[in-house]
Amino acid sequence: MWQDALLNMAACSSAGRVLSLCRRFQNVLRISSATNIQRSAVNVTKYHCQLYRETSPLVSPFWSSPTSTASQCRGLHTTISRRGLEEFFDLPENWGEANVKSGAPWTAKQLRTKSNEDLHKLWYVLLKEKNMLLTLEQESKRQRLQMPSPERLRKVERSMFRLETVVTERETALRLLQTGQEKGRPGAWRRNLFGYIYWYRFKEYAIPWYMNKRYKRKTFYTPHFVQPHMRLRLEKHLRDKTRKANSEKQKLAKLKEKFPLMKVPAS
Amino acid sequence: MSLTTFSSFLLSYPLYQLGNPQLRLFRPNWFLTLVRPGKEQPPDTVQFRIPMEMTKCDVKSYLEKIYNVPVGVVRTRIQFGSNKKRNHLNQRVKQPDYKVAYVQLAQGQTFTFPDIFPEKDRTPTEGSMEEMQEKFMEDEKQRQKLDPRRGGVTEWFGL
């Protein structure tokens, strides 16, 4: 069923490279079934990514993680990249080109279909791509030439941001199920010196709080003489709000006068 | 407790006390820029621009584990970005500070910064926009040229 979906999607795509790409991924990557995030977090030593570079990592391939093979291995398996510092540069064919083609960035919807191991690997692929683009940008500034296709950098940044949101979503869900806590780092709602209430995030100390001189100097309460200032602040805020609302109404009234058949925008 | 998320401003490393497990980072948010050295460097030295939060050990493990590059020694320095230039409002404009790392490769490896912008003969494809533009520009240039029969003398001189 997976293979059929794969082939259908490959047939629809423009390049036949995508099909070979999918096949290569299926052969090389043995991805275990979706596991606990904490347990699947692998020591970075084992990870050597980037098997090949014919297609940019931005071309979101239509491969989906196949079900685990007979070996049922937990660890990540990838080929070791034999090019060391060369990975900071693009393929030699693209040197000197005015435009380098690249695909669309990864969307959060696409990333949510991937397993944790896939996302982990993709992060490093995107990281290396971003490093390469940054070196290219700096060198182009140095040589006073235009960087070919600078939009690639923004695409990679967006993909990485979305990847991180997806991973944090999964982590919070897991944490809620396991512990009932939503946030990983403990905190509390506290009032600061100026009367603002904010989420104070706890910091890890080696000694308890009553022995911590620097912590005891912090004030998590508002002294009574700050109350008039808070009141004035509140009044200012309310005044600004009403003024803004009034100006909007006046604007609409004027427009209605000039254009009686105008439709009032719903906002 | 190893770090799982990596937003730069929400980050705080767990406290380390003797006997704690090694700190491990997943999905690091650090990006290295390989730069061409301004001053002449020895052949085994590679110059990087790294984020301020990285240390020498971080750079070493980053290159060894992600890029599989044998690293010997790393030296870092912080480059102050100038605050001297002024904009049209006479306000001082700060250029960002950055950290530079000089990485010496192990195992006798050498590295020279390649020429990433070689001159390439660009022949635009037939019937494409570029070809039409090039043709147009050539015609315009031809029109601007003076009459060759005048032998280099400008039009300003009558006759």
Contact between chains at B116 and A81 (C-beta distance less than 8 A): no
Torsion over CA: B116, B59, B31, A75 (sign): positive
Contact between chains at B17 and A43 (C-beta distance less than 8 A): no
In the numeric block, which tokens belong to residue B1? 């407790």
Query: What pLDDT is recorded for position B71?
Result: 95
Query: What pLDDT is recorded for position A58?
Result: 54
CATH 3.40.50.300 fits B33-105, yes or no: no
Residues of B whose CB is below 8 A from A140: 116-117
Contact between chains at B34 and A206 (C-beta distance less than 8 A): no
A108 touches chain B (CB under 8 A): no
Query: What pLDDT is recorded for position A248?
Result: 96
In the numeric block, which tokens belong to residue A133? 């683009």
Query: What pLDDT is recorded for position A48?
Result: 38
Average pLDDT value over all residues in chain B = 89
Residue-range domain boundaries for chain B: 33-105
Spatial CA neighbour of A117 closest among A172, A80, A78 = A78
pLDDT above 70 covers what percent of chain B? 92
Residue B158 banded pLDDT, cuts 50, 70, 90: confident
The amino acid at A154: R
Q: Which residue of B has its CA nearest to A165?
A: B5
Query: What pLDDT is recorded for position A110?
Result: 95
Residue A138 CB coordination number (10 Å): 16
In the numeric block, which tokens belong to residue A111? 């990333």
A45 touches chain B (CB under 8 A): yes
Q: What is the pLDDT along chain A (267 residues), one digit of tens a residue?
A: 444 443 444 344 444 454 444 455 444 444 333 333 334 333 333 333 344 444 455 544 434 334 444 445 456 666 656 678 899 999 999 898 888 999 999 999 999 999 999 999 999 999 999 999 999 999 999 999 999 999 999 999 999 999 999 999 999 999 999 999 999 899 999 999 999 999 999 999 999 999 999 999 999 999 999 999 999 999 999 999 999 999 999 999 999 999 999 888 776
Option in B33, B61, B111 nearest A138 (CB): B33
**Best mutation target, B2, B34, B109, B111, to test chain A (most A CBs within 10 A):** B34
User: What is the enclosing helix (H) or strand (E) of A143?
Assistant: helix A116-143
